[in-house]
Amino acid sequence: LNSTASLKKEKTDITDDLFHQLFPGVVNPNGSVIARQLSRAHCVDNTDEVQRIRASHPTSEIHVLRGGRLLGELYPLRAFGDVRFKWPLDLQKVVLEPLGSPAPPNLFTPPYLTVSPEVFYHKLTANDKFLVLATDGLWEWLDPDTVVRLVLLDIQERKLGEKSHKKPIDENCATHIIRHALGGVSGGESKQYERLIDILQVPPGRARNYRDDISIIVIHFNEKYLQETDSSAVSAEPMEMQAN
């Protein structure tokens, strides 16, 4: 994950520098749960990112974004590594080309790719129950509202299981999400596991045709602590933070 969540007392600072999304699960007084987005996609779907990229290079460079990708190749517009989009052409000819890694076409005014993150601030309240950090592979299968509902369902099932001494199906909440993402949410457990096994057994070379890599972290908040702190919510516009 190239997104991070820094938790300090009742504050959450979100640092996001790639195509990953973060959602706190907010439970309303009526018991329903909603997903509140705390990050933005760094790709051509984000008009602010497109404007940032175009403003960083001469208007004559019409190929800076082509086919929805940076220089026609890279999907994320912020990332660690990928020095082919950062290093000058002369340096790449000396270091990368001998290794069989040529520079992207139309590389005139690098760097085109940055690792500088966006930083979001969100003050936690007693209604914030958990935080889901996940790579884009998950969101190709499930929308945020479905994900937070699955997390809440898993929490409720574990509480019931503790009372009845029944072991939960999934080892943890992240596994619970992946099972429903790749196995589907219909047809019962047997059909779900059948679909899950089929898609996980696809060989690595072909797997990308069916699914992207999925990484998930679920952070559960201390409800009692949040109830004891100031519950007024404070939101802020995203802030840019420079990274060396």
Containing structural domain, residue 186 = 3-40+118-240
DSSP 187: S
Residues 141, 232, single domain; the answer is yes
∠ CA 91-42-21 to the nearest 5 degrees? 130
* Whether residue 184 sits in one domain with residue 149: yes
- 215 and 146 inside one domain: yes
**Same structural domain for residues 33 and 129?**
yes
Question: So what's the pLDDT on residue 188?
Answer: 80
DSSP 96: T
Q: Looking at residue 242, what is its pLDDT? A: 44
Beta strands in 64-189 (DSSP E): 65-66, 69-70, 118-123, 128-135
CATH number at residue 154: 3.60.40.10
Same domain, 31 and 122: yes
Whether 163 and 147 map to the same domain: the answer is yes
Decide which of 114, 138, 168 is a domain's last residue. 114
Q: Identify the pLDDT of residue 12.
A: 52
**Backbone conformation region of residue 4, classed left if phi is above 0, alpha if psi is from -120 to 50, else beta:** beta
Beta-sheet strand order (sheet of 239-240): 3-8, 11-16, 118-123, 239-240
Q: Does residue 136 share a domain with residue 22?
A: yes
Q: Phi, psi (5° rounding) for residue 153?
A: -60, -40
pLDDT score, position 114: 94
pLDDT at 125: 84
The structural domain count of the chain equals: 2
pLDDT score, position 234:
42
- The answer to whether residues 135 and 182 belong to one domain is yes
pLDDT tens string 104-123: 999 999 999 998 888 888 78
- Residue 72 to residues 44, 84, 112, 159, 177: CA-CA distances in angstroms? 12, 13, 12, 49, 33
Look at residue 11 in the predicted model and tell me its pLDDT.
52
Low-confidence ranges of the chain (pLDDT < 70): 1-22, 163-164, 230-244
| Residue-level pLDDT at 18 | 47
Same domain, 86 and 51: yes
Residue 17: predicted pLDDT: 46
Do 9 and 55 have their domain in common?
no
110 shares a domain with 53: yes
Q: Is there a single domain that holds both residue 164 and residue 177?
A: yes
Q: Residue 168's pLDDT is what?
A: 77
Whether the pTM exceeds 0.85: the reply is no
